Amino acid sequence: MVSRKLERLISPGKWIHNLSVLSLSILSAGIFFFVLSESVTYLIFRDKIKDYTSDVLVRSESLLVQAESVKTAAKSHLNIGDSPCTNENILHLRVVVWPYPLIKDVGYIIKGELACSALWGSLRPTLSLEHFDKKWPSREGLWLFGIKLMGDISVNGYLSEDIMVTISPFVFRRFETDMYSKNFSAVVGNSKHDRHYFNIGPDAPLLDRHDSVPLRFRVFRACSLHYDLCVTGGGYFTGIFSEHWSIQLLLATVSLLSGIMIYIIIMNRAELNSSLSARFVKALKNEALSLVYQPIYRIEDGRICGFEALLRWKDETLGNISPDVFIPLSEREGLQEDVTLFVIDHAIREFIHTAIQNEIFLSVNINPSDLDSEKFRDKLLGLISEYNIPYKTILLEITERQGGDFEGMKIHIDKYKNHGVRFAIDDFGTGYSNLNLVTALDVDEIKIDKSLTSAIGTESLRYDLLPGLHEMFRSIADKIVFEGVETQEQVNYLKTFWPQSYAQGWYYSRALPLEEARKLTIRELN
């Protein structure tokens, strides 16, 4: 089989076309994965900037808290009239500053000059605080930046109530050296952006600008909830090409393999154009399907109570295709929802006036997954509103083929019931719609599968199940519908044991085209 496909691929007249499709597939996959990788990389990069900026802000807030705490503790030890620079007080300052990692030193100011500190002890002579780079007043005190202590030593300090708190020069060191953050920069300032206290990282001057920044330079800003304090963080977004070569190689490999897969899918799809699946997809897309309507009768008096809408497909070439063929086909192709939407839309638009006028119900089959579909919900509720459909006119039949989330189904069913929709369990007795499903869901009808109905009058094991079925559902006989009723013997049995129940099948009527169903309704109910 593989060799035959290869022969077709390299046959004259096709290899150029196939090569073009292959090249386009690989190129498309490459572009897609490149855009996807760039997008993902950018989102990760953006989150890193946010985290980095937030971390700098947290560190800045901690610095303010520690500076104020040290100032308060240093102030509280002084007695009025005492000389601040006693040995006892200096010792106390050393004890005060010790627990705070963001604080380097704390000292007392006398007549505008630093007289002593925990680190330097008593200063002789005292140190003038007139030499500094910049100062910013704050609500509590004064911030001095670039204070010249002695020699080449320059520090940043916080002054308040004759106390000077010296900030550690390593407060923001990790934000410049850590692998995580070394490619980012930040500026710590006030909310008005007119005071810049600290510059962190190599690109801080870019953040200090009020005009535009480079194209690939990204900026994020975060502000404190407690202080007049904001941090602007940023960095260059270099994209996927800045990643390790192994990642780039992986991207290229994935793009190549994905392109080949796309090519194979395109080729296989071309071969499937004439297949049954392709024909059904086309028929569904072009609304070349139709509905028939099978009446449902009350067993006791033989009165029509409603109709079940059934999907039919007549292919232009192949003729009538059985639902036993195209329904599983639609499931394999993932078209269950589309099929349901088609049936619910056409059934209601075609037959709802007849149902309303004659006070009968309209029944439609759905999948459990449809209950969780927004498209289905919007379609059904929209039609109910559009046609002002009375309560209990619409009946949805559910067949659970995979087992499932009964609790989730019940929640959805209850929501639809608020809009007057009734529900039935279809194909009871097949193994799909079992007793667990019936007991888990609050349904209005239980439809007995035709395999049990056909056992009536036979000696099969299924016939032996019928007495137990009657005992089980005797109290809710008016909620039972027997499918596939075809013989007089079956009808006689049902009239004897299930007179309050309902039935449908060829004994009563085949599934009818729309106009015939309307005529039958008028003839029997009017």
Tens-digit pLDDT profile for residues 46-92: 888 899 999 999 999 999 899 999 998 888 877 655 678 888 888 99
**Sign, CA torsion 7/13/18/19:** positive
Fold of 287-525: TIM Barrel (3.20.20)
**214 vs 1, residue with greater confidence:** 214
For the chain, residues classed under CATH 3.20.20.450 are 287-525
Give the three-state DSSP class for 141.
coil
Q: Decide if 432 contacts 442 (C-beta within 8 A).
A: no
pLDDT, tens digit, 9 for 90 and up, residues 424-445: 999 887 765 567 777 778 889 9
**In terms of C-beta distances under 8 Å and separation of at least 24 residues, what long-range contacts does 316-320 make, across chains too?**
317/279, 318/276, 318/279
CB atoms within 10 A of CB 169: 12
Mean pLDDT of the chain: 83
pLDDT number for residue 7: 47
pLDDT number for residue 5: 42
Tell me the C-alpha distance between 341 and 379, whole Å. Answer: 7
| pLDDT over 70 at 247, yes or no | no
Least confident of 8-12, 132-136, 408-412, 414-418: 8-12
Binning pLDDT at 50, 70 and 90, where does residue 295 land? very high
pTM exceeds 0.75, yes or no: no
Tell me the C-alpha distance between 230 and 191, whole Å. Answer: 5
DSSP 355-366: HHHHT-EEEEEE
| pLDDT over 90 at 305, yes or no | yes
**Running DSSP on this structure, what letter comes out for residue 216?**
T
Place of tokens 């020069």: 169
| pLDDT over 90 at 408, yes or no | no
Whole-Å CA distances, 439 to 23, 466, 472, 505 = 57, 19, 12, 26
- With a pLDDT cut of 70, the percent of the chain lying above it is 84
**What are the φ/ψ torsions at residue 433 (nearest 5 degrees)?**
-90, 90
Tell me the C-alpha distance between 387 and 390, whole Å. Answer: 9
When pLDDT is averaged across residues 81-104 and rounded to a whole number, the result is 88
Binning pLDDT at 50, 70 and 90, where does residue 293 land? very high
When pLDDT is averaged across residues 347-375 and rounded to a whole number, the result is 94
| pLDDT over 70 at 193, yes or no | yes
Single-letter residue type at 92: H
CB atoms within 10 A of CB 381: 14
**CB contact set of 355 (below 8 Å; sequence gap of 6+):** 306, 307, 361, 362, 393
Tell me the C-alpha distance between 171 and 198, whole Å. Answer: 10
| pLDDT over 50 at 41, yes or no | yes
CB atoms within 10 A of CB 434: 15
